Amino acid sequence: MRIEPVKPRQRRLRGTAFRVAVLGGVGVVLFAVLFFRLWSLQVVTGDRYLAEANDNRTREIRVPAPRGRVLDRDGNVLVDNRTSMALQLDPLEIPSGAAERRKLLGSIAGVIGRSESWVRKRYRLEVKDNPPGSPITLIRDVGDDIVYYLQEHQADFPEVQINRVFVRRYPKDVRAAHLLGSVGEVTAEDLESPEGAGLQAGDTLGKAGIEQQYDGVLRGEPGLTRVQVDSRGRIKGQLESVTPEPGDSIRLTLDPDVQAAGESALLGIGLPGAFVALDVNDGEVLGMSSNPTFDPDIFTRPLTPRQANDLWDEDLGAPMFNRAIAGAYPVGSTYKPITAVAGLAAGKITPSTVVDDGGKITISDQTFTNAGSQAHGPVDLRRAIEVSSDVYFYSLGAQLNGGEQLQRWSSQFGIGRPTGIDLPGEAEGLLPTPEWRNKLFAAGETDRPWAIGDNVQLAIGQGDLQADPLQMATAYAALGNGGTVYKPRLVLQEEDSAGRVIREFEPEIERQIELDPAAREAIMDGLHAAAQQPDGTSYAVFGGFPVEVAGKTGTAERPPHGDQSWYVVLAPYPDPRVAVAVTVEQGGFGADTAAPVALQVLSAYFDRRAKAVSGGSGNVE
């Protein structure tokens, strides 16, 4: 008989073996999880993480390209760049919490020595229009001591960067401020617009004037530096870089002497006004200015609300308003040559048609009077222009009513339509037509339909007519050159940063007016007499001018304002090369304020040519 001995140790071991198996099983499962996860991360999705790692370590730093310069006709610099050390906040690093941000701005205020409220205000101004992701420039032109301090304490200010930026510089101060325009950081709106292609947050964009019109030329191509950074964003090495391509320069058609003369003459008058000087034979703008003006340098910093307000404040004369291309005024007697062309072409008058100017004329129960009710007696066309007989042109306006001859010719000369100048912000003006007024009347927006009186008023540049100096200069230039309407243009050529000419801008003919040479000659004769015959309206100004000119005064009623003073002149007579139009708000008689400005401009123009002829200056044209 065999007795099986009880083996407690074995039983314990059997129980233990099971428990070991449980612990081992848990271990196997845990290891399996780790292996599977490791395999999944590295082998299956490794490429994705590799891309993430590469993305992690590189930063692309956009290196701004210096914008091209803007030069005048002689190559004098009107706009170029200076470099500036800007204290900027990295948008990715800015704390999202208001309290932390306050603290950061507070500590920056301490470093740059400004008050906290000043820094916070700058921050708000900068953030307002900037698209997300653009660096926030708190202050430009940071001193070396602050730069060094921040470099030494970079760890304390991970959000702060000191970057070299280009800032527009205006060596001639206010010279041609309205034409040059300004640059600014792109806004979210810019980025969405079709023109925003290729732009990024933080880039600079032309916002007005030439800067805006020729932004594509001036902008250049930003460079790109790829750097390796560590986890704190410290740069560890440069990987590759594309050097920035500086923008091309723009050489304007502006004649520096003409421009300076016009600006200082307007400034001397001290009233809001504008002048335009055009080359009659190709449409080049030799000078253009609007008064009052502004210092374009204010746009290199964020505008304070007060500054922004002042620029458009009517009481200050709205300095930003470019009256030369957007001032809509009645033009008064300067309009008469256009009326004359229409009358001659329509056969309503001949140069020898005589009208007895008794100081007033009654047309369909309405009496129209000369300025000051002065009677000029019997006048032909030449005399009517010379003495500026309103009655002559009232009569002609009445005859031209119906058939819209006057409107058609006016439009041909460019009244009531943009000239197409290469400058943003041009106004259309207003050429009143029966259709226009009748439509307004039908819509209940005016008190009466078109009447013959409207045409009578238009004939002397009054009534509803609105035009700006550029339109008047363009119209006179067409008269002067025998009927060619050039598109006025400001740019002579595009040059690269080394000064080589990339592209020359050619004159563009907008329209050809079929101007009867005899009619043109008669009108020019009248304009010449008006300027330089003793009875002429601007003889007092131009009587002693050494160059023969043909010019017309205008004194337009512009209620509730005082009379608008105009002067438009072609010179030299009889084959003019330059047309100058000047207007002065509330300037009174054309001969009193506008004509003297034109005289200054023409003096500058002809002095320069005289000097060029005598060899005084080498590079005039």
Partner 1 sequence: MESSATARGRDEAHLPRDGLLDRVGIRDMDGWMAFSALGLVACSLLTLHEAVGQAAGGAPQEYASRQALYGLVGITAMIAISRIDYSRFRELRVGIYTFLCASILAIFVFGITARGSTQSLELPFFTFQPAELGKLLLVLALAGFVIDGARRGSESQRTIRYLALGFAPTGLVLLQDLGTSLVFGAITIAIMVAAGVRWSHLAAIGAGLAALIAITLVLMPMAGAPVLKQYQQERLTSFLSPSSDIGDAGYQQNQAKIATGSGGTTGRGDQATQSRLGFVPERHTDFIFAVVAERYGFVGAALVLSLFALLFWRALRLMTLSKNFYGTLVAAGIAAAIMFQVFVNVGMNLGIMPITGIPLPLMSYGGSAIIATFMMIGVLQSIHIQSRAGQRGLWIH
Smallest distance, partner 1 to C-beta of residue 124, A: 24
Binding status of residue 31 toward partner 1 by CB under 8 A: yes
Q: Find the binder of partner 1 among 7, 50, 110, 521 (CB under 8 A).
A: 50
Of 9 and 306, the one with the shorter C-beta distance to partner 1 is 9
Of 8 and 559, the one with the shorter C-beta distance to partner 1 is 8
Smallest distance, partner 1 to C-beta of residue 13, A: 7
Closest CA relative to residue 137, chosen from 91, 191, 187:
91
Smallest distance, partner 1 to C-beta of residue 57, A: 4
**End-to-end Cα separation, the chain, in angstroms:** 137
Whole-Å CA distances, 479 to 54, 175, 342, 410, 530: 68, 30, 12, 12, 16
Closest CA relative to residue 349, chosen from 398, 386, 388:
398
Binding status of residue 352 toward partner 1 by CB under 8 A: no
Binding status of residue 6 toward partner 1 by CB under 8 A: no
Binding status of residue 57 toward partner 1 by CB under 8 A: yes
Q: Which stretch binds partner 1 (CB under 8 A): 50-58, 238-246, 388-396, 500-508?
A: 50-58
For every residue of 171-193, DSSP letters joined together read TTTTTTHHHH--EEEPPHHHHHS
For every residue of 497-510, DSSP letters joined together read TTS-EEEEPPP-EE
Binding status of residue 53 toward partner 1 by CB under 8 A: yes
> Would you call 413 helix, strand, or coil by DSSP?
helix
Write the DSSP symbol of residue 221: B
Binding status of residue 236 toward partner 1 by CB under 8 A: yes
Smallest distance, partner 1 to C-beta of residue 39, A: 6
Q: Find the binder of partner 1 among 10, 41, 145, 516 (CB under 8 A).
A: 41
For every residue of 206-220, DSSP letters joined together read E-SHHHHHTHHHHH-
Is the Cβ–Cβ distance between 457 and 397 less than 8 Å? yes
Count of residues that bind partner 1 according to CB under 8 A:
40
Q: Which stretch binds partner 1 (CB under 8 A): 16-24, 368-376, 474-482, 499-507?
A: 16-24
Smallest distance, partner 1 to C-beta of residue 132, A: 15
Q: Which stretch binds partner 1 (CB under 8 A): 52-60, 404-412, 483-491, 504-512?
A: 52-60
Q: Which stretch binds partner 1 (CB under 8 A): 226-234, 302-310, 312-320, 474-482?
A: 226-234
Closest CA relative to residue 346, chosen from 294, 425, 407:
407
CA–CA gap between residue 289 and residue 294 (Å, rounded): 11
Binding status of residue 23 toward partner 1 by CB under 8 A: yes
Count of CB atoms situated within 10 Å of the CB of 98:
8
Binding status of residue 312 toward partner 1 by CB under 8 A: no
CA–CA gap between residue 540 and residue 537 (Å, rounded): 8
Q: Which stretch binds partner 1 (CB under 8 A): 11-19, 108-116, 390-398, 535-543?
A: 11-19
Of 50 and 375, the one with the shorter C-beta distance to partner 1 is 50
Q: Find the binder of partner 1 among 13, 375, 509, 613 (CB under 8 A).
A: 13
CA–CA gap between residue 388 and residue 533 (Å, rounded): 13
Q: Find the binder of partner 1 among 10, 115, 228, 373 (CB under 8 A).
A: 228
Of 96 and 614, the one with the shorter C-beta distance to partner 1 is 96
Residue 186: what residue type? V
Q: Find the binder of partner 1 among 3, 6, 8, 54 (CB under 8 A).
A: 54
Is the Cβ–Cβ distance between 590 and 614 less than 8 Å? no
Of 231 and 367, the one with the shorter C-beta distance to partner 1 is 231
Smallest distance, partner 1 to C-beta of residue 75, A: 50
Of 76 and 225, the one with the shorter C-beta distance to partner 1 is 225
Binding status of residue 239 toward partner 1 by CB under 8 A: no
Is the Cβ–Cβ distance between 535 and 386 less than 8 Å? yes
Binding status of residue 59 toward partner 1 by CB under 8 A: no
Note every long-range contact of 213-217, with CB atoms under 8 Å and residues 24 or more positions apart, other chains counting: 213/181, 213/422, 213/423, 213/424, 214/250, 214/422, 214/491, 214/494, 217/68, 217/247, 217/248, 217/250, 217/494
Binding status of residue 147 toward partner 1 by CB under 8 A: no
Q: Are strands 249-252 and 70-71 parallel, antiparallel or unpaired?
A: parallel
Residue 567 φ then ψ, to 5°: -150, 130
Please report, as ranges, the residues that interact with partner 1 according to CB under 8 A.
12-13, 15-17, 19-20, 22-24, 26-27, 30-31, 33-35, 37-39, 41-43, 45-50, 52-54, 56-57, 228-232, 236
